[in-house]
Structure 1
Amino acid sequence: MVRSAAGLTPAQLETLRGKLEAERRRVQRLLATPVEDVPAEGERTEPEEVAQRSTEAAHHLGVAERERALLADIERALAKLDAGTYGVSERTGEPIAYPRLAAVPWTRVAAEDEE
């Protein structure tokens, strides 16, 4: 059986690729969902409604920012899979344990490497 540089089997790599691709699709769908705009200045609305919409818009922008960062991590992980360097800690160069990758397939470091 052939193993990756991180000691992962082909079946494990395929499982992880599937998880990454599924999460990428989820994030892309979420980012493609339009956000309701804050009412225009001339639009007749109650001040409470304007405040509520503004708060919701700010929340959606924060979510979108986090999801874009997650998408970048997913794309990086998929590129590493293609390059054969997936599953290795970016801090130490040591393999990341499969259970950690299965839980967070876009992780860049082993659990013990986190600060």
Structure 2
Amino acid sequence: MKPEIFLPEDYRPAEDEPFMNDRQLEYFRRKLNAWKAEIIDLSAETIEGLQDSARNVPDIADRASEETDRALELRTRDRQRKLVAKIDAALRRIENGEYGYCEVTGEPISLKRLDARPIATMTLEAQEKHERREKVHRDD
């Protein structure tokens, strides 16, 4: 088992330290785990809310409104489920030493980008190129 890494509460990864050193990896591991816990807590609240709202509403307009709200909640819940899968994938990349490097170019992803979007798998340039290609090949 790895020794516990001490991180000051105000620690932020900096460009002047070795890229993806133990402290940076621990910072992102904690950030990802906290994000995942928050999503799971919200999901539990969503499920409770859906169970509470599963009552028979006699007014057709109220029922339609409630159905729309449920559909939106379920869509949000599905997005959260996919996000948890991406967080889990990022945590696996930390464990196997691939975290922080672009899956396309192999170059380091900027610390600012990772701090803003810790599940990022591509540098900003590679992501933009990917999105442009996707837009060109999308069936409209």
- What TM-score results when the alignment is normalised by the length of structure 1? 0.84
Could you tell me which residue of structure 1 aligns to residue 59 of structure 2?
46
CA contact 1:31–1:64 (8 Å) conserved in 2 = yes
Count of residues paired in the alignment: 108
| CA displacement 1:12-57 (0-9 Å, x = unmatched) | 2211111100001011112222124444xxx451011101110000
Name structure 2 gaps, 5 residues minimum.
1-16, 132-140
CA contact 2:32–2:91 (8 Å) conserved in 1 = yes
- What TM-score results when the alignment is normalised by the length of structure 2? 0.70
Name structure 1 gaps, 5 residues minimum.
none
Runs of 4+ in 1 over 3 A off after TM superposition: 36-39
Could you tell me which residue of structure 2 aligns to residue 113 of structure 1?
126
Aligned pair partner of 1:29 in 27, 41, 47: 41
Identity, % of aligned pairs? 32
Give the Å deviation of 1:9. Answer: 2.5
- Please tell me the root mean square deviation across aligned C-alpha atoms, in Å: 1.7
CA contact 1:38–1:54 (8 Å) conserved in 2 = no
Give the Å deviation of 1:82. Answer: 0.8
Q: Matches of 2:57 and 2:66 in 1, distance apart?
A: 13
